[in-house]
Structure 1
Amino acid sequence: MAGEKVKLNRYGRKEVIGHLVGPVFIAALFFVVAGRINIYRAWLWAIVTLLYYTGGLVVILRVNPLLLNERGSWNKKKDTKSWDKILLQIFGTIGLYFHVLLMALDVGRFEWSSLNPWFILPGMILYTGGFNLVYWAMAENTHFETTVRIQHERNHRVITTGPYRIVRHPGYAGLIITNFGSAMILGSMYGFITASATLIVVGIRTWLEDRTLAAELHGYQAYREKTRYRLFPLIW
């Protein structure tokens, strides 16, 4: 596990602020677009999101603080793959903003659909499980940066411990799971549309990143042969 004894620079501090302010902003955006605040499933989703963002931040600050400095300076990286600059914007737009906005319009303003409350529990299991997977990967992998690049200046190496023993891209798997989980918690059938679109975008990014690492990162091809699945065991 990573654990470099480093201090946060201004990029790391920006990442910390983003972790604390981000979930509050997203929740506020949801309620504004929904046009009302009396949606108990939305409050449940918002509170759990804030707790996980805060708890995950505490874990990363303790075990892998260097990662916050690196992730906070993602737009300063000169060697980010050109295709990833495009996919990152698409992912952020669809997987975060469109996803939240569509669900807010669905369950709040227009009430197009409403999944049975029985979906809340399995949705919560998926949502929290996805977050656990993402932060486990971040804690284990000091190279878990925002963009795809070979981190030569940081002695980029293959990580094979923790969730990386199971699949090669556990962070992406966690992100996909959380989107489907959030749709179930909020009770939005339309949320499955943006969650499915996110699955496609992340799948493309996973395929391209995996191919890049196999070609350019020493030891990754051997790791790929040993750990067969990219995102989900027995599936892909």
Structure 2
Amino acid sequence: MIPVSTREPARAGRSMKKVCIAVAAEFLILAALLFGAAGTFAWPAAWAFLIILFAGAALITRMLARDDPALLEERLRPPIQSGQPLWDKIIMASFIVLFIAWLILMGLDAARFGWSIMPVWLQWIGAAGLAGSFWISYATFAANAFLANVVRIQTERGQTVVSSGPYAVIRHPLYAGALLFFASTALLLGSWFGLAGALALGALLILRTVLEDRELHRRLEGYADYARRVRYRLLPRVW
């Protein structure tokens, strides 16, 4: 975490403007994909998803603007950058395409054609899980000032191993939260086909976890020792 004395109000202000634009654009794009595929705005589950998503993003953004504007600035960079490993570029490009297709599929499935019939109680579990995924993300961002969008060692920012907060339990908590996000979104939106898509997205994320972990072992000083202390990557006692 960046100490209070090193905060940069001007940078934080600029970042907040950028992130407000980014969050608004993301909200509109997601809404267009979901409701466009659904063919209607009368889809309460999609509105619930967007509200939880917006609230979670707003809380994390507020925390970063207050405590770590440098990380907020880093998170505004695109998911594909120069200097990024080729394998990570391929994974991220594939992820973006699959994520868009996933949202469209759930709109077609759960709202337009009604292929899936999901119990309401499972949708409520999905809503709770979605909120939980943002809680994991919040705790992860609060603990780690080096959460770049791409796999790279941030030598210019003096990157070090983080072992506090959720990193004391698993090595990649942000990815664990993302896996919960995928499954919970499909449940909340009421799409069994969406759950299949969540598995595909999860497989890509697990592949990235393996390759990123290998990169950190190789290039980040102290990571191998940390990995010996914290054995599990995504799920305690499992993997």
Is the TM value for this pair above 0.5? yes
Q: Deviations over 1:13-50 (max 9, x none)?
A: 43442123312320232111100111222221121112
Q: Return the alpha-carbon distance in structure 1 between the equivalents of residues 46 and 77 of structure 2.
A: 32
Q: Return the alpha-carbon distance in structure 2 between the equivalents of residues 97 and 224 of structure 1.
A: 34
Q: Is the 8 A contact 2:171 2:227 kept in 1?
A: yes
What's the secondary structure of 1:178's corresponding residue?
Answer: helix
Q: Is the 8 A contact 1:16 1:68 kept in 2?
A: no
Q: Deviations over 1:90-123 (max 9, x none)?
A: 12222x3122111001011111112110112211
Q: Return the alpha-carbon distance in structure 1 between the equivalents of residues 111 and 156 of structure 2.
A: 48
Counterparts in 2 of 1:165 and 1:12: CA distance versus 1, 3 Å: same
Counterparts in 2 of 1:54 and 1:234: CA distance versus 1, 3 Å: same
1:229 counterpart (221, 229, 232)? 232
* Residue in 2 that maps onto 1:163: 166
* Residue in 2 that maps onto 1:215: 218
What's the secondary structure of 1:128's corresponding residue?
Answer: helix
The answer to which of 16-25 and 178-187 deviates more is 16-25
Q: How much is the aligned-residue C-alpha RMSD, in angstroms? A: 1.8
Return the letter of the residue paired with 2:167.
Y
Q: Is the 8 A contact 1:12 1:70 kept in 2?
A: no
* Residue in 1 that maps onto 2:70: 66
Q: Return the alpha-carbon distance in structure 1 between the equivalents of residues 79 and 137 of structure 2.
A: 21
The answer to which of 137-146 and 21-30 deviates more is 21-30
Q: Return the alpha-carbon distance in structure 2 between the equivalents of residues 15 and 212 of structure 1.
A: 29
What's the secondary structure of 1:190's corresponding residue?
Answer: helix
What's the secondary structure of 1:120's corresponding residue?
Answer: helix
Q: Is the 8 A contact 2:173 2:234 kept in 1?
A: yes
* Residue in 2 that maps onto 1:38: 42
> How many pairs does the alignment contain?
235
Q: Does structure 1 residue 126 correspond to structure 2 residue 129?
A: yes
**1:84-163 matches, cutoff 5 A:** 84-94=88-98, 96-163=99-166
2:84 counterpart (67, 80, 86)? 80
Q: Is the 8 A contact 1:24 1:50 kept in 2?
A: no
Return the letter of the residue paired with 1:2.
I
1:201 counterpart (201, 204, 211)? 204
The answer to which of 162-171 and 126-135 deviates more is 126-135
Normalised TM-score (structure 2): 0.91
Counterparts in 2 of 1:133 and 1:117: CA distance versus 1, 3 Å: same
Structure 2: runs of 5 or more not aligned: none
Q: Is the 8 A contact 1:23 1:46 kept in 2?
A: yes
* Identity across matched positions, percent: 34
Q: Return the alpha-carbon distance in structure 2 between the equivalents of residues 17 and 164 of structure 1.
A: 31
1:22 counterpart (26, 39, 49)? 26
Return the letter of the residue paired with 1:62.
R
Return the letter of the residue paired with 2:95.
F
Q: Return the alpha-carbon distance in structure 1 between the equivalents of residues 45 and 209 of structure 2.
A: 31
Q: Return the alpha-carbon distance in structure 2 between the equivalents of residues 41 and 73 of structure 1.
A: 30
Q: Return the alpha-carbon distance in structure 1 between the equivalents of residues 28 and 170 of structure 2.
A: 31
Structure 1: runs of 5 or more not aligned: none
